[in-house]
Amino acid sequence: MIQRTAASVEARHASDSGLNWQQALATAINRPETLLAELGLSPSLLTGAQDGHRLFNIRVPRPYLDRITPGDPNDPLLRQVLPLEQESETPAGYITDPLQEANHTPQQGLIRKYRSRALLMVTGTCAINCRYCFRRHFPYGEHRMSPDGREQALDTLRNSPEINEVIFSGGDPLAVNDQLLAQWVSAIEAIPHIRRLRIHSRLPVVIPQRVDDQLITWLGGSRLQKVVVLHINHAREIDDAVKQAAQRLQAAGATLLNQSVILRGVNDSAGTLADLSEALFDADILPYYLHAFDPVAGAAHFDVPDDEARAIVAELTAQLPGFLVPKLVREIPGKPSKTPLNF
């Protein structure tokens, strides 16, 4: 085992010392050897972790780290963030842009795949780098919005009356400071045909401190209908701090939904998904989508074939009331909406 030093133990509990969200973001673990040391994991994992890290940087905030079981290489939360040697493999069919987003990005920072919605890539920064991310190869540097790009995106929204919903995405939009987010929202509110703001974020889960007074002020004060779509794959990601963050978002007028990805070794059983749905509902979050795995290069070891996913959801449906069963979907490039994978 890699030995946990006194310093690593102290760092592991840094999230309990009153750090704000910016400090928690800045002190996220970004080296494989640090992650292994803090969790007391075998040094045999280091070579594969370093190889994967070179392909896609590791990033694990400490509030999330504190929910991982030390010494367990198969912990479902750990599997989402630890690079493995399989990431260096190159099986056929796994590509860098599985959703062909390059074809739907007509201008800097704006993605249009659906008629009534537009997605703004507010930032390329994430609080956590999930190893299965379908955007792990996305050229964020090419889509970083300059002030001119921001105005062009707003002009597109103003001149597109069919758009009634704007989605903040990234990266993770809540990795951006509240002043800039408030400016975005103010500009969007001034466009009469836009009714809803949707925010896709993992930050309230991995750093619950992000849901602070400043965020609640601009979110709660908006005229727009607000939907916050969280990304939680396993029930153990939901602790008391996450529940409190969810309550604050709901009190600010946000409808809370969750989307998951079905992942090998993380949540690929009906029992695990049932536990997740129950934990979500206990936190006043409604299960929304269960995404079939997007075949992104470097993450093939997470793949669950569609037929197996259908069988799992069929079993899940027998266990839970319908409102707790997320819709199993696949995003197929070029389709006008998500495609349900019916069983």
Phi and psi (nearest 5°) for 184?
A: -60, -50
The DSSP symbol for 269 reads S
Which pLDDT does position 5 carry in this prediction? Answer: 42
Query: Nearest 5°: phi and psi at 229?
Result: -100, 110
Structure-model confidence comparison of residues 20 and 16, the more confident one: 20
pLDDT of 263-282, one tens digit each? 999 999 999 999 999 999 99
Burial class, 176, CB count within 10 angstroms (exposed 0-12 / middle 13-18 / buried 19+):
middle
Q: Are 246 and 213 in contact, with CB atoms under 8 Å apart?
A: no
Q: Between 108 and 328, name the one with better pLDDT.
A: 328
Q: Facing residues of 230 across strands?
A: 201, 258
Please give the average per-residue pLDDT across 64-77, as a whole number: 98
DSSP string, 136-197: TT--GGGGPPPHHHHHHHHHHHHT-TT--EEEEESS-GGGS-HHHHHHHHHHHHTSTT--EE
Neighbours of 57 (CB within 10 A): 14
Cβ atoms of 204 and 177 within 8 Å: the answer is no
Report the SS3 class of residue 300: helix
Distance, in Å, from the CA atom of 218 to the CA atom of 77, rounded to the nearest integer, reads 31
DSSP assignment, residue 14?
Answer: G
Please state the rounded mean pLDDT for residues 155-177: 95
- Does residue 3 have a pLDDT over 60? no
Q: What is the pLDDT of residue 96?
A: 83
Tokens standing for 184? 């975005």
What mean pLDDT is reported for the chain? 91
Dist CA 274 CA 212 (whole Å): 30
164's tokens: 């009634």
